[in-house]
Amino acid sequence: MSEPLPAAADLPMDGVIRVHDADPDRHEAYLIAPAVQNHAANLMALGNGDLGCVWFSGTQEGVADISIWFSRLEKGAEAWSTPTRLSDDLTRSEQNPVLFPTPADELWLLYTAQHAGNQDTAEVRCRISRDDGHSWGPVRTLFPATSRGGVFVRQPVLVLPSGRWLLPVFNCVTTPGKRWVGDRDTSSLMISDDEGRTWREQLVPESTGCVHMNLHLLADGTLLALFRSRWADAIYASRSADEGTTWSVPAATELPNNNSSIQYVTLSDDRLALVYNASSAADAVERRVSLYDEIDDDGLAATPASPTGEEPAAVGGDERTAFWGAPRAPMTLALSADGGHTWPIRRDLEVGDGYCLTNNSRDGLNREFSYPSIQETADGDLHIAFTYHRRVIKYVRVRPEWAARTEGL
């Protein structure tokens, strides 16, 4: 039987990278936490050789004190820097940051901004740095909310060899007269052929329920997109052979999904490395009505809603409904050598019960491992960051071969 995991309050949240006590091939750190809740990390290799990490932090997702924070691991350093705040809109919850180093040596920060728990009000904002994140320009709105609803980002921008930029977004669509709960969300691709000066939207066909579109270029020149499922059933996949202009209808893969984020990267040897939760609604004994049960229009609800096992009403009577509350654990690293058709090599990075029927970090009830991000650097190391109990961002460094090693486990 494994030892119980330490409570977040007992973790060394100092950013220092340490060798794992029981695994000399694994290095890890807990980044300095600016506030009680820390979530939705994204890693990116910066132009100067540093590694950047952005996430959101504050009281609780949906509350207006949620802001974007940035920490860096300088090249050769053994500790992450004290984080700095990159957004400060006191009227909106600012979430889901993404770093994008452009071919013109600019570093873009993209993130969302919404009112309370209403994702249908979200817009995508942008700031630009010209010194690898040491200083930043003004905030501007890149994509406002549309007539369909809010616009969200989560995954990195992909630049194709042709120079085309591909930015995956998802659309938080509501049913008229009802609050957003995720039942009708769809995915789109924002395409720019002029280095971000103008954009056009490409809808992913039949993508209702498929969000957090994560795409990369494969060795055969095609694009593979993997999706989080609002139905908490499986990771979905779609492919494009024409630089993202058209896409196949998303289809379920062999891997489970729990309506939580995933991320993969193409490695230097053309294999794919994916981090995800190996769980789904089939592993859940309870569910939530929505992500924001505990948030009202003014921020925190006076009395947080209790988790419920009841099925929410279906949209329109027959449509599928988003499943919230499936365990967000384990956190798993998987490798594919056939362009994402199969994932035979899998190893858990973190295990636990993944309890996530509340997003309240103040009471320490959340035990999820979620929203992973992964990068490969030129030295072949895999850098992974993810949410640890909604309290802190955890960083792990391993080699790809670590995923296939099972001796001593």
Average pLDDT rounded to a whole number, residues 179-183: 94
Q: Higher pLDDT residue, 327 or 302?
A: 327
pLDDT of residue 308: 37
- DSSP letter for each residue of 62-106: TSTT-EEEEEEE-TT-SBPPPPEE----TTSEEEEEEEEE-TTS-
The overall average pLDDT reported for the chain is 92
What is the rounded distance in angstroms from the CA atom of residue 206 to the CA atom of residue 210?
Answer: 9
Positive or negative, the Cα torsion across 157, 389, 37, 20?
negative
Mean pLDDT of 155-183: 95
Angle formed at CA 209 by CA 212 and CA 394, multiple of 5 degrees: 35
> What whole-number distance in Å separates Cα of residue 223 and Cα of residue 299?
40
pLDDT tens figures, 118-156: 999 999 999 999 999 999 999 999 999 999 999 999 999
Taking only the tens place, the pLDDT of each residue in 305-347 is 433 333 333 333 457 899 999 999 999 999 999 999 999 999 9
**Structure tokens of 226?**
């993997």
DSSP at 359: -
**CB atoms inside a 10 Å sphere around CB 18:** 14
Is residue 60 a contact partner of residue 40, using CB atoms and an 8 Å limit? no
Name the strand (E) or helix (H) holding 95. strand 93-101
Q: What is the mean pLDDT of residues 92-100?
A: 98
Quote the pLDDT of residue 89: 97
R_g over Cα of the chain: 20
User: For the residues 242-255, what does the mean pLDDT come to?
Assistant: 98
Q: Indicate the pLDDT class of residue 405, thresholds 50, 70 and 90.
A: confident
At 246, the pLDDT band (50, 70, 90 cuts) reads very high
pLDDT confidence band for 408 (50 / 70 / 90)? very low
Binning pLDDT at 50, 70 and 90, where does residue 2 land? very low
**Measured between alpha carbons, how far is residue 184 from residues 8, 107, 149, 404 in Å?**
35, 33, 10, 38
pLDDT of residue 318: 55
Per-residue pLDDT tens over the stretch 24-40: 999 999 999 999 999 99
Model pLDDT for residues 364-379, shown as the tens digit of each residue: 999 999 999 999 999 9
Predicted confidence (pLDDT) at residue 356 exceeds the cutoff of 50:
yes
Q: What is the pLDDT of residue 299?
A: 65
**Residue range 241-267: average pLDDT?**
98
Contact 99, 42 (CB under 8 A): yes
Over residues 234-258, the mean pLDDT reads: 98
